């Protein structure tokens, strides 16, 4: 996934927790809506810290 993001021109700094989030999603038994909310919250927090 990181390769896909890099191809799209998105740079993710190391130690953002994105790797951990991706593993959590793959291993999760949660509904898609809950997973989407987790990703949305994560990306919002990431964008707040980068500005």
For 7-37, the pLDDT digits (tens) are 877 777 777 788 888 889 999 999 999 999 9
Domain that holds residue 29: 14-50
Q: What b/e readout covers 23-50, taking b as 16+ CB neighbours within 10 angstroms?
A: eeeeeeeeeeeeeeeeeeebeeeeeeee
In this prediction, residue 46 has a pLDDT band, given cuts at 50, 70 and 90, of confident
Decide if 29 is inside a domain. Answer: yes
Specify the pTM. 0.62
- Distance from C-alpha of 18 to C-alpha of 21, rounded to nearest angstrom: 5
Decide if 31 is inside a domain. Answer: yes
pLDDT > 70? residue 50:
no
Decide if 28 is inside a domain. Answer: yes
Task: Give how many domains the chain has, as a whole number.
Answer: 1
């Amino acid at each position: 996934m990181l390769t896909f993001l890099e191809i799209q021109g998105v740079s993710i700094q190391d130690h953002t927790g994105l790797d951990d989030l991706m593993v959590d999603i793959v291993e999760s038994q949660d509904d898609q809506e809950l997973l989407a909310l987790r990703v949305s919250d994560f990306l919002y927090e990431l964008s707040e810290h980068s500005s």
